[in-house]
A and B are shown apart, each in its own frame.
Chain A
């Protein structure tokens, strides 16, 4: 099951050139761009691991593509995303976020039903991947 989070996730995987152009858009807007990775794809997992610092002073997005590829070398079997952070006064907000790398197979999510008092049922989802310990998910 293909994970769809952030921008462009219904499109075919972005090429490095696609990534560069999108990241350049963010840089030209004055946003700090960073690279993050995770092996816990739950949609509420907003805190992915940071790959290096956010890039504040790189005028050219080749720097972002470079870091994405450096990250792929170590975490190529996980999800990697690029996010753009707007630090302008009054804002603390992610302006862009898109997946740039995903595991070869994505087993998806299962529904978990919890029966409560009376006939209440609580629903939640859990990714199959997190049944394995961190670092051992996605082969």
Chain B
């Protein structure tokens, strides 16, 4: 039984169908990478999983439980099992790093306070920001903010972590510090769905690559299959362009 199964998920913006039936699945501890040209619907897949963009069809299985996002309760259940990190970090501007990390665990999950605090400190250590607990986000670099966002997502103890182009907004010299943090998570066995243009990184960490174009999955397989021996013209086209540099 897969840990995450996305089953024929559809979504629309107005009359424009941006997800035309998306299906893929991964096992526990695996990493799926969504790749494809800009506007192909990668972010919308993650937003649909988080219930931020309503789905017009399909369902999602998480650890054997089916979510169909048909009610507020269903959406809450899905959000309870997953966490997302956005391209623009989206740390709460009015809160310190520590408050960002502990808000939902304390107020929503209602976990024990001292455990939440020590877990938050452990996670800040994991992303190398132990000394920034009391900083506000406007005192941090983009790379630091993104690592805080990663720690904040992990503080929710998600069964699945979703990462949407988490290095795209960063200066090149800051990309590696964030990728290193994600590598650590991969080694710890975190199940993840990542959207990324860092193809070398995708090849290194992903168990499955899902190539999307115009709201559809064109081809899916292992990184080697897709990067080295793509079966479709569109995938071959895309990867030859993006892998060249």
A and B held together in a complex: no
Could you tell me which A residues sit within 8 Å of B by CB distance? Answer: none
Could you tell me which B residues sit within 8 Å of A by CB distance? Answer: none
